[in-house]
Amino acid sequence: MRRFSAEYLTRTRDGMWEDSTAALSALSLGDRDRILDVGCGTGELTQTLSVEATAQQTTPPLVVGVDADRSLLDVAQRQTDGQYVQGDAFRLPFATDSFDLVVCQALLINLPDPQVAVEEFARVSSDLVAAIEPNNAQVGVTSTVREEAELEQTVRDAFLRGVETDVALGDTVQTLFEQVGLRNRSTTRYHHKKRIEPPYSAAALADAKAKATGSGLQKHDIEIKSGLAGSEPNMGYDTLRSKWRSMGRDVIDQMQTEEYRRVELVPFDVTVGKVP
């Protein structure tokens, strides 16, 4: 199982659901009594679902988060007031029809066989199944450091080629939903906008340092090396790493004079289907 740190999840989900009412409208949160968030991590979406559904109803619904990683659930339990249970997305520890909405975010892109998980969601839900999955092939970056967007694209392309699961799933989740027999399928796109500008947060400073030292690249070096091997034109990993670190030093230089600005747009597709 691919593991994530609580720090990574909390940082990358920061501000993600600022516009949640419109973005999550397909989930009909005002009509839900029992909601399950599968692969909930540190509970960022679980909390948003709870706040949104409670705001739209007179009686607050039951909202439960389930994840295989106990350490993330401990963080979720500390920072939100939801209910959390340890469990496997392929064999959920709940009876058939226990919930009227089963949803996940950025889970299917990390699974070797996402269809089996969607089948399990359909077993546990009596009504709706939803998946909010990014399309990492369509991430857009603009930056005041000239080489940053292009180098990030090179790294992203190599990672996409080298990683074993489909991290660009996005709206192709609809095909999985169709194969599982879910009806009335629909997808809407939501963009998570991540902005770095002065005053720089501690996380932005840490990101810049990770670029300049190459430590960020190193975390995914197996996938990137494997993806680079098939790329055209062929850039070796050492060359890429050296360009990457030089770009990171430029980011730090611009931060020192408060010139640095970066915007990243990550498309998330919200796909919904009805259990027949």
Ligand X SMILES: C[S@@+](CC[C@H](N)C(=O)[O-])C[C@H]1O[C@@H](n2cnc3c(N)ncnc32)[C@H](O)[C@@H]1O
Sites of contact with ligand X (CB under 6 A): 1, 4, 9, 13, 39-41, 44-45, 67-69, 72, 88-90, 105-107, 110
Q: Is 271 left (phi over 0), alpha (psi -120 to 50) or beta?
A: beta
Cβ 194 to ligand X shortest distance, Å: 14
Question: In terms of CB distance, is 4 or 177 closer to ligand X?
Answer: 4
Question: In terms of CB distance, is 103 or 196 closer to ligand X?
Answer: 103
Question: In terms of CB distance, is 88 or 147 closer to ligand X?
Answer: 88
Which residue of the chain is nearest ligand X when measured via CB? Answer: 41
**Alpha-carbon distance 267 to 148, whole Å?**
19
**Alpha-carbon distance 158 to 153, whole Å?**
8
Structure tokens that stand for 91 in this block: 């064999």
Q: Is 156 helix (H, G, I), strand (E, B) or coil?
A: helix
Cβ 129 to ligand X shortest distance, Å: 15
26 CB-side CA count, 13 A? 20
Biggest CA-to-CA distance, the chain: 59
Question: In terms of CB distance, is 20 or 105 closer to ligand X?
Answer: 105
Cβ 18 to ligand X shortest distance, Å: 15
| DSSP H helices in the chain | 6-12, 20-23, 44-55, 70-79, 114-124, 148-162, 173-180, 202-213, 215-218, 221-229, 237-256
Question: In terms of CB distance, is 48 or 254 closer to ligand X?
Answer: 48
Cβ 151 to ligand X shortest distance, Å: 23
Residue type, 186: S
Cβ 231 to ligand X shortest distance, Å: 25
